[in-house]
């Protein structure tokens, strides 16, 4: 499983600690793509191996491919590809049946013209959760760099079979980032500073506990090797 497509935590997971964070979400408007009947998406180049379609109601669906990708009925705000393609479609075109990925490397063409509309959504803390995952990835990379040849690190991280061991670390880092964003906007500075420091230290402790417990699958032997280092 590719690490960067793994959900280490969720918004629901964060509210176990701080239910109040949902009270600070704000409404905003954006474009959405609507289809009234199942339609087909044709990718170019045809190298994408997975697409997750995110709806305006906060749910998502994994698309199924035959020769093209079947897009079910719904109102969509984002398509995310697999990590091999490493790209996404923001669906902000606002017209037409031809979609271009954010990175510019892929296009999707709808077999049936969609309806474009403006929807009101509530901002959430998903970007902070995504950033926390990236920061954990970076910490894993740095930690592993002292143990194995950097050529193998990305594959070793993707080979982790028990990413749930990092859930608490991800929750604490997400909450630290959220309260850093809220600093000066809510409550007293002393209270928010205390929360930031609490979750910052909690993250460090949780990561330090989690790392020795990680199962690196077929690469596990590297962790038990005395030198811990391999070369090309």
Give tens-digit pLDDT for 83-112: 666 688 989 888 999 999 888 889 999 999
- Provide mean pLDDT across the span 75-84: 85
- Residue 226 in this model has a pLDDT that exceeds 60: no
Assess whether pLDDT exceeds 90 at residue 45.
yes
pLDDT at 33: 95
Provide the pLDDT confidence category of residue 231 given band limits of 50, 70 and 90: very low
Share of the chain above pLDDT 90, in %: 61
What is the DSSP code (8-state) at residue 114?
A: P
The structural domains of the chain, with segments of one domain joined by +, span 3-22+124-224, 27-122
User: Is residue 227 very low, low, confident or very high in pLDDT (cuts 50, 70, 90)?
Assistant: very low
What's the Rg (C-alpha) of the chain?
20
pLDDT at 102: 83
* Whether residue 229 has pLDDT greater than 60: no
Confidence of residue 137 (pLDDT cuts 50, 70, 90): very high
Residue 183: other Cβ atoms inside 10 A: 14
Q: Provide the token pair at 44.
A: 């170019």
Given a contact cutoff of 8 angstroms between Cβ atoms, the answer to whether 181 and 128 are in contact is yes
42 pLDDT above the threshold of 90? yes
Residue 74, pLDDT score: 95
pTM for the predicted model, two decimal places: 0.63
Q: How confident is the model at residue 200 (pLDDT cuts 50, 70, 90)?
A: very high
Across residues 181-200, what is the average pLDDT?
A: 89
What are the residues facing 33 on neighbouring strands?
A: 76, 116
- Identify which of 1-5, 35-39, 83-87 has the greatest average pLDDT: 35-39
pLDDT at 83: 60
Q: Phi and psi dihedrals of 118, rounded to 5?
A: -105, 125
Taking residues 31-37, what's their average pLDDT? 94
Name the residue among 68, 184, 181 with its Cα closest to residue 127: 181
Instruction: Grade residue 22 by pLDDT with cuts at 50, 70 and 90.
Output: confident
């Amino acid at each position: 499983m590719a690490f960067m497509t793994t959900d280490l935590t969720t918004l629901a997971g964060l509210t176990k600690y701080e239910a109040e964070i949902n009270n600070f979400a704000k409404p905003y408007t954006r474009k959405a793509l609507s289809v009234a009947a199942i339609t087909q998406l044709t990718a170019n180049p045809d190298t994408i191996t997975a697409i997750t379609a995110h709806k305006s109601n906060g749910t998502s669906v994994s698309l199924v491919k035959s020769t093209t990708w079947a897009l079910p009925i719904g109102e969509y705000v984002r398509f995310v590809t697999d990590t091999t393609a490493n790209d996404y479609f923001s669906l902000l075109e606002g017209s037409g049946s031809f979609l271009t990925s954010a990175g510019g490397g892929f296009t999707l063409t709808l077999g049936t013209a969609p309806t474009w509309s403006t929807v009101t959504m509530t901002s959430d803390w998903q970007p902070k959760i995504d950033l926390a995952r990236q920061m954990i990835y970076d910490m894993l990379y740095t930690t592993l760099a002292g143990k194995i040849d950097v050529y193998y690190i990305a594959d070793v991280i993707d080979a982790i079979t028990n990413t749930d061991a990092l859930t608490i670390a991800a929750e604490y880092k997400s909450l630290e980032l959220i309260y850093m964003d809220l600093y000066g906007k809510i409550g007293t500075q002393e209270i928010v500073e205390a929360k930031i420091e609490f979750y910052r230290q909690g993250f460090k402790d949780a990561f330090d506990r989690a790392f020795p417990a990680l199962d690196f699958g077929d690469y596990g032997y590297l962790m038990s090797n005395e030198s811990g280092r391999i070369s090309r």
